[in-house]
Amino acid sequence: MNDARNNFDIDSLRVASEHGDCDASVRLGQLLLQRGGFGSSEFDEAITRLEQAAGMDHTEAQLLLANVLAQVHALPDADARAAHWYDAVAQKNHPEALARLGDMYLTGRGVAADDAQALARIERAARQCYPQLQCDLAYMLDHGIGCNADPVAATSWFLRALAQGSHQAAFALGLRYYCGRGVGRDAAVAQAMFECAAGGDFPDACVWRDRLDEITSSNEKCDAGLLAQRIRDQVRSLPHQFAAAGISELDSGESATQKMTAVIERHWSALDDRRISLDPGHRSARAKATGWPVIAAPGLPQLEIWQPRVFRIPHFLSEYERAHVIALSAPRMAAAADFSRDAAEFEKDFFTGTAARLGAHMCDPVIRNIERRIAVAAMLPARHIEPLSVLRYQDDDVYEAHVDYLTPDRLEGAHGGQRLVTFICYLRAPREGGETEYLNAEHAVAGEPGLALLHYNCLPDGQPDEMSLHASRPVIAGEKWLLRTAIHSQSLYEPIAAARDAT
């Protein structure tokens, strides 16, 4: 019955689309994309219908078309076409399009790589009062992506996101007030921030809140509790302030943004606490240059074992980055058996836990910066890196013995060529069990938060290394969260025909 109804809908939408109905073209495109992926007749028709509406300056069609093209790297000129349509929507000051175009500037896909251009696009989006984009901007400012590093400005943007209720920003600020990054050190404010983040179940916020509870004085604990409650009350009452100012969720445009910004600033200033002022001139000037745990501090790769070639890199991810990746992936976790069109679909036969793949539409400046760091460690281009994925192991979950290189039957026609290197990083380490074991070498590596492992799947001559057989031992206590990817011999962002011509 549903199939018949869908067929009727598609036929009706085709007629409307052919008569120039842009809304019908968008809905038809959505239905066709649900029916078939890249290479199918449904996909080809969906692209045609969306291009028809996009050419008539239909914003929703332009954005959907760009989102689809940005995820189909095998399609000739897909990246350039995606960038074109993102730019068309970004010129209307659309925040999502600005952010996605910024991502393309970060990766050099469809446009020339340019961190300054990426920063400019993301700042334009952040200024429209979107907390997540404000956190993205703060991260870029903190790490000097597209600019000179400016920890003080980064703190201000995190505070703006917090003023709108961002638990991610609260966690970031907890770390910053704890170590004095872009603001004076203040244990009470740090604990208050972690309390706010914990209220939204942000990863690891409870751990840090409890850690500070053990080292703060009774006066600091009291100060932290009161401040956290005042912040929560202020955030809860913000919608009433918007309503009183005549601002609704549907309002957009420069005038609406200016009104929202003014309301947020005025409402936050009513807290009358210089320590968390949006104006950096009012905050403590006792800021330090320290980075950890806000900024990652990876050293050079250290040899773990020689056969197979395995290297370890401590402190590869910062506390903020690890928590961010967990928060990004947790809502999307699924059993390996449910994966489809995944680069490692075969792993459903080996892995008993859950996982999430961080596709192009989920990537932000944090993910892109991590990819760059991986590329440096592996000494291979970032464009050779598979989309990152996150694995979660709970009690008794295992990843049975397997190799990550592509066998000849899987290598033939594989986009990106051979998987030369595997990268994993512990986002969380279990209290017991869960070691990564290299079976032929009879060697196991116990995890610790932030520890990265690089192992080579191939020998220096490019042939598969059978010594790279590895597994994960069962988790006995706690949970194990891994960030995982593989680095290929060729770019994963080239059309299939071009990639084959290069071999």
For residues 182 and 155, the answer to whether their CB atoms sit within 8 Å is yes
**CB crowding 157-174: b at 16 or more within 10 Å, else e:** bbbbbbbbbbbbbbbbbb
Q: 208-250 pLDDT, tens per residue?
A: 999 999 999 999 999 999 999 999 999 999 999 999 999 887 7
Q: Which of 39, 40, 49 is nearest to 10 (CA)?
A: 49
Q: State the chain's mean pLDDT as an integer.
A: 90
Return the higher-pLDDT residue of 338 and 181: 181
Domain ranges of the chain: 2-125, 131-282, 302-501
Q: 433-458 pLDDT, tens per residue?
A: 999 999 999 999 999 999 999 999 99
For residues 292 and 179, the answer to whether their CB atoms sit within 8 Å is yes
pLDDT at 81 over 80: yes
What DSSP designation does 348 have? G
* Topology agreement, domain 2-125 and domain 302-501: no
Q: Classify domain 302-501 by CATH architecture.
A: Sandwich (2.60)
**Distance between CA 399 and CA 397 in Å, rounded?**
7
Q: Which residues contact 140 (CB under 8 A, 6 or more apart)?
A: 118, 119, 122, 146, 147, 365
Confidence of residue 121 (pLDDT cuts 50, 70, 90): very high
Full DSSP string of 459-501: -TTS-B-GGG-EEEPPEEES-EEEEEEEEESS-SSS-HHHHHH
Count of Cβ atoms closer than 10 Å to residue 138 Cβ: 29
Instruction: Give the global pTM.
Output: 0.93
Q: Could you tell me the CATH superfamily of domain 2-125? A: Tetratricopeptide repeat domain (1.25.40.10)
482, β-bridge pairs: 391, 426
Confidence of residue 339 (pLDDT cuts 50, 70, 90): low
